[in-house]
Amino acid sequence: MRGSAGWRWSAFVCFAMVGLLWVGSSLAADSAALKGWEKESEYNGFYKASEMDQFKGTVEEIVEIVPLPGMAPGVGLKVKDQDGDMVNVQLGPKSFVKPDSIGLKKGDKVKVKGVWADIGDKEVFMASKVKKSEEVEFKVRRTRDGTPYWIMTPEELARDKDDAS
């Protein structure tokens, strides 16, 4: 009996260690997926909510982006604006922006809200919201202060949703 209890305790400790390693590796994977996209990152410093702008256009392509060297990959759009100019729209990290589930595709007419920024040697548009229709709207940042939704807790997201209602 005593040997059996010892075995069970050893098995419990082993499973607990495996669980801790799994949680630790998940957290490391999450932080790696957001590398460079964190709240106080250099990248987010380019977003100036007081300079909010918007434009209309047509989605030409959904692309993978890396705004600054060393950042985790993100998702962007190439949007042809009403003047025929191609605008590089940056949405957010791939871990948050899933191209298959954002409700946008090539040829969609959209209204994009966000801010213009010079990042590296490129002028880009850092989106806060992309609206296709009354039913399809993809939000990536709060419009009032530019806080990225990908860094907010579930409680903050719920409060933000309630404030918008």
Over residues 124-156, the pLDDT tens digits come to: 999 999 999 988 899 999 988 999 999 998 898
Mean pLDDT of 70-76: 96
Buried-exposed string 58-81: b where 16+ CB fall within 10 A, e elsewhere:
ebeebeebebeeebeebbbbbbee
Res 165: pLDDT:
57
Q: Which of 6-10, 19-23, 63-67 has the highest mean pLDDT?
A: 63-67
> What domains are defined for the chain?
42-164 (2.40.50.140)
Residue 132: φ, ψ to 5°: -100, -40
Q: Where are the beta strands (DSSP E) in 94-162?
A: 109-119, 122-131, 137-139
CA distance 138 to 122: 24
Q: What is the mean pLDDT of residues 36-51?
A: 94
Nearest to 59 by CA among 48, 75, 43: 75
Q: How confident is the model at residue 100 (pLDDT cuts 50, 70, 90)?
A: confident
Tell me the average pLDDT across 22-46.
73
- Higher pLDDT pick, 89 / 98: 89
Q: Would you state the structure tokens that stand for residue 47, as one six-digit string?
A: 């977003």
In this predicted structure, the answer to whether residue 20 has a pLDDT above a threshold of 50 is no
This prediction's pTM = 0.79
The share of the chain scoring above pLDDT 90, in percent, equals 61
Q: Which helix (H) or strand (E) holds 54?
A: strand 53-65
Mean pLDDT of 52-56: 97
